[in-house]
Structure 1
Amino acid sequence: MIDRATRWPEAVPVSEITAQTVAKVFVTTWISRFGCPATISTDQGRQFESDLFISLNKLLGIKKIRTTSYHPQANGMIERWHRTMKSAIIARGNSTQWSTELPIVLLGLRAAIRADDNVSPAQMLYGTNIRIPGVFFEPKKLDKSPESYTSDLIRAMENATPLKCDHHGKHRSYIHPDMASCDYVFVRTDAVKKPLTPPYEGPYRVLEKQTKFYKLEVKNKTAVISVDRLKPAFILRNDEVYDPLTCVKNETAPSEITSKPGQMKSMDKNASATKTRSGRIVRPVVRFAL
């Protein structure tokens, strides 16, 4: 767990990730210390989508936002912090008993100065530094007296404003231009799949379009999918026929359409015959229309 404003992290080792265990840890670790948050963001784990966790949020007056599937960028702050925490545990050199190293690792991460705003999560939360082992300090940084340092820190905290990250959200995935007008889309499968498995599933019907996600009808259920995993699907309606030479849609050719689905009817071989400069008569390959 991590606070989006101060970036104060909490991590609790558990033996199972059932809904009851996760809800209990959330209450005893976060809510008992900092109170009820207004909004929380989670992934689509079954423990977060359970009736128990939803009822807990309603009881505490918490609005829950869930990310789209296979899209960790939607909750990038905690996903990126996982890498930092794992690197710190590895640096301790006791990966087999990592749960015993976790409190010291959290102490160091909470007191670490961030490069973007030059403050630590502890300073953002408490307004002052937390006391840590002396080996963490550098003597050249202790020139100022504690009184002046505290005054400067309080003044800086009073004038603190949210930082504007210029690099955040600059990376944009390619989105097909026809996504705005399509009624059906294919969904990319980002899960681990067997060899020779198609990379996309579908097509699925679009129910609602948003800037960052689409609501789709997937197997008679509503699914929210990020636009980064979608591409448009072009489906031929029953009243449409495409010319085999020009690939232009022709909706005024009812004679080429059969009334029974699955029945094939061949197109006229002489309808599109052309004459070359040498005088030869060239006929296109025989095509069939549904």
Structure 2
Amino acid sequence: MFGIPKVLKTDNGPPWTSTEMKSFARYMGLHHRKITPYWPCANGTAERFMRVLGKTVRTAVIEQKSWKQEVHKMLRNYRATPHSTTGYPPATLLFQRDMKTRLPELTLEQPEVNKEAKQNDKKAKMEMKKYTDRKRRAKENSIDIGDTVLVSQRKQNKLTPPYDPKPHRVIGKKNTMITAETAGG
């Protein structure tokens, strides 16, 4: 409805890792970015929104209301509410005008909205990154392309080691995302 996105960020679920999805992304000219497997924090925005959506549906069922109507109402209110990082409602940023709701309206200066919202968003995200890095004791990595590394693996039973015993070779690095390969793939 609003055009092709530049980047599509998804988890590593089967619908997103298929060859059909790869060819669709190539055909549409969009960059498909998959988050780190088994790391929901990498897709925190979507995870948090799904929590709100689930709560809306459960509340509607408990109150014996139409869950579909309640979801539409929640989405309408969400789109009209100023975002904590940008300071502007998502609908205002998308359509360059205020969205009419049943709540009283404030008129914003439209030409400066995007510029100021982007600055607010960038500042808020940098603060969140600093906080999270400090909380998780994050450190810069010194891994380079060509290095041999061990990759963490999913625990299958009590005897599964935390890392895959087969060494991997780093073949790509973009910011904090590192791509490694082994003889098996």
Please state which structure has a larger fraction of its residues in strand: 1
1:168 matched to 2:124: no
Secondary structure of 1:102's counterpart equals: helix
| Residue in structure 1 matched with residue 152 of structure 2 by the alignment | 187
With normalisation by structure 1, the TM-score equals 0.49
Q: Work out whether residues 67 and 74 of structure 1, in 8 Å CA contact, stay in contact via their aligned partners in 2.
A: yes
Q: Work out the CA distance in 2 between the residues paired with 1:178 and 1:60.
A: 34
Q: 1:51 to 1:130 in 2, by over 3 A?
A: same
Q: 1:180 to 1:50 in 2, by over 3 A?
A: closer
Match of 1:153 among 109, 112, 120: 109
| Residue in structure 2 matched with residue 57 of structure 1 by the alignment | 25
Deviations 1:156-208 (A, max 9, x none): 3264351322323222345799974973425142x6x55x3546142231311
| Residue in structure 2 matched with residue 88 of structure 1 by the alignment | 56
| Residue in structure 1 matched with residue 37 of structure 2 by the alignment | 69
Displacement after TM superposition at 1:35 (Å): 0.8
Q: Work out whether residues 183 and 206 of structure 1, in 8 Å CA contact, stay in contact via their aligned partners in 2.
A: yes
Displacement after TM superposition at 1:118 (Å): 2.8
1:108 matched to 2:77: yes
Q: Work out the CA distance in 2 between the residues paired with 1:116 and 1:62.
A: 26
Instruction: Name stretches of at least 5 consecutive residues in structure 2 with no aligned partner.
Output: none
Q: Work out whether residues 86 and 117 of structure 2, in 8 Å CA contact, stay in contact via their aligned partners in 1.
A: no
Q: 1:200 to 1:123 in 2, by over 3 A?
A: same
Match of 1:204 among 161, 166, 182: 166
Displacement after TM superposition at 1:40 (Å): 1.2
| Residue in structure 2 matched with residue 38 of structure 1 by the alignment | 6
Displacement after TM superposition at 1:48 (Å): 1.1
Deviation >6 Å, runs of 4+: 175-179
Q: Work out whether residues 168 and 182 of structure 2, in 8 Å CA contact, stay in contact via their aligned partners in 1.
A: no
Q: Work out whether residues 47 and 53 of structure 1, in 8 Å CA contact, stay in contact via their aligned partners in 2.
A: yes
Instruction: Name stretches of at least 5 consecutive residues in structure 1 with no aligned partner.
Output: 1-32, 222-290
Larger Rg: 1
With normalisation by structure 2, the TM-score equals 0.72
Deviations 1:210-247 (A, max 9, x none): 352443345701xxxxxxxxxxxxxxxxxxxxxxxxxx
Aligned ranges 1:237-256 → 2 under 5 Å? none
Match of 2:179 among 200, 203, 215: 215
Amino acid at match of 1:49: T
Deviations 1:64-113 (A, max 9, x none): 11112112233322222222222333343558863453222211211222
Displacement after TM superposition at 1:121 (Å): 1.0
Please state which structure has a larger fraction of its residues in helix: 2
